[in-house]
């Protein structure tokens, strides 16, 4: 008789412990299948030589050879340099413009809702549509951009065909596409700021510029870091827009790491090498994310 409550107690305890695990297990299994397994498999691949013509026979272990080859390959080093330049310039411009827009929309402005709706439009387009549309707009011969430059008396520009122009053109499209997103997040941050410090500053005679640099920016730091974190990761892995605009050309001038990985992974089907390049990309993104996340954490504490 005494054993019954003890058995029931143990069962209830076990149930209590196991139930949450059972509830989350479907999600966990799905995540494991679609995220953890491919990540682990590609990590494994990065130490092997997997090629289309050889994989049926053998996928030999090559240790760090793929990683060493990558850093010896000037094309990969160049793609890293191009990606870094692209991230810094694009995110920098997006941040400055996004902040300006957010400040503008934060004030009582006539037609504020209309402007807000308009700037959100680019966010509603898919990247494929954006890439194809801008490719037409920037076409040297038939593009609208050069047409209007011509109306203004400016010589048409070879936006996508000159190596020196192609990366700025890609930056331009990315800025057009995502500045509104940056502005939206910063606006949300601005609206959540307390009113009191700004009132106190006004009473003390602080100018708008002083308020911005000594109050707005420090108080908004956490939002800024989240925006930068999100945008840097997103920009670092950009593929579709660049691929549709230039396919990494001309003469590899816009070949980012993602396009490099695509070429080796899905055109040459050298999956070991492409996986190693992907892991280098992941490590770089983790470093960026780690540094920014630490800063956010420090601010919170």
Query: What residue ranges bind other proteins (CB under 8 A)?
Result: 44, 47-49, 52-61, 139-142, 158-163, 246-253, 263, 266-269
DSSP 8-state class, residue 48: B
Nearest distance in Å: CB 2, other proteins: 41
Nearest distance in Å: CB 147, other proteins: 14
Beta carbon nearer to other proteins, 160 or 182: 160
Is 187:105 a contact under the CB 8 Å cutoff?
Answer: yes
User: Who's near 282: CB < 8 A, 6+ residues apart?
Assistant: none
Nearest distance in Å: CB 48, other proteins: 6
Burial class from Cβ neighbours inside 10 Å (0-12, 13-18, 19+) for residue 27 reads exposed
Nearest distance in Å: CB 54, other proteins: 5
Beta carbon nearer to other proteins, 179 or 246: 246
Angle at 238 between CA 236 and CA 243, to 5 degrees: 140
Beta carbon nearer to other proteins, 158 or 234: 158
Backbone dihedral region of 149: left (phi > 0), alpha (psi from -120 to 50 degrees) or beta? alpha
Q: DSSP letters of 66-115?
A: HHHHHHH-HHHHHHHHHHHHHHHHHHHHHHHHHHHHHHHHHS--TTHHHH
Nearest distance in Å: CB 102, other proteins: 35
Beta carbon nearer to other proteins, 161 or 211: 161
Spatial distance between the Cα atoms of 259 and 265, rounded to a whole number of angstroms: 10
Beta carbon nearer to other proteins, 7 or 61: 61
State CA 193 to chain mean position distance: 26
Nearest distance in Å: CB 39, other proteins: 14
What is the largest distance, in Å, between two alpha-carbon atoms of the chain? Answer: 99
Nearest distance in Å: CB 141, other proteins: 6
Beta carbon nearer to other proteins, 159 or 279: 159
Beta carbon nearer to other proteins, 227 or 259: 259
State CA 127 to chain mean position distance: 13
């Amino acid at each position: 008789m005494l054993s019954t409550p003890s058995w029931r107690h143990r069962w209830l305890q076990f149930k209590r412990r196991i139930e949450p695990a059972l509830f989350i297990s479907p999600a966990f299994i799905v995540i494991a299948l679609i995220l953890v397994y491919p990540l682990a498999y590609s990590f494994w691949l990065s130490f092997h030589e997997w090629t289309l013509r050889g994989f049926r026979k053998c996928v030999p272990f090559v240790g760090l050879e793929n990683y060493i080859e990558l850093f010896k390959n000037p094309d990969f080093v160049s793609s890293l340099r191009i990606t870094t330049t692209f991230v810094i310039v694009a995110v920098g411009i997006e941040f400055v413009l996004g902040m300006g827009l957010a400040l503008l929309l934060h004030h009582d402005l006539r037609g504020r809702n209309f402007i807000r709706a308009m700037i959100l439009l680019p966010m509603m387009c898919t990247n494929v549509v954006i890439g194809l549309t801008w490719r037409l707009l920037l076409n040297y011969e038939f593009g609208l951009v050069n047409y209007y430059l011509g109306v203004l008396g400016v010589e048409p520009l070879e936006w996508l065909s000159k190596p020196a122009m192609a990366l700025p053109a890609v930056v331009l499209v990315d800025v057009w596409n995502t500045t509104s997103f940056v502005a939206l997040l910063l606006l949300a941050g601005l609206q959540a700021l307390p009113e009191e410090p700004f009132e106190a500053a006004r009473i003390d005679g602080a100018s708008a510029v002083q308020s911005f640099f000594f109050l707005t920016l420090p108080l908004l730091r956490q939002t800024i870091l989240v925006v930068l974190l999100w945008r840097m990761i997103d920009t670092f892995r950009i593929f579709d827009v660049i691929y549709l605009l230039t396919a990494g050309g001309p003469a590899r001038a816009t070949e980012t790491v993602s396009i490099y990985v695509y070429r080796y992974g899905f055109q040459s089907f050298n999956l070991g090498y492409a996986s190693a390049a992907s892991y280098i990309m992941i490590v770089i993104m983790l470093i960026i994310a780690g540094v920014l996340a630490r800063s956010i954490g420090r601010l919170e504490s």
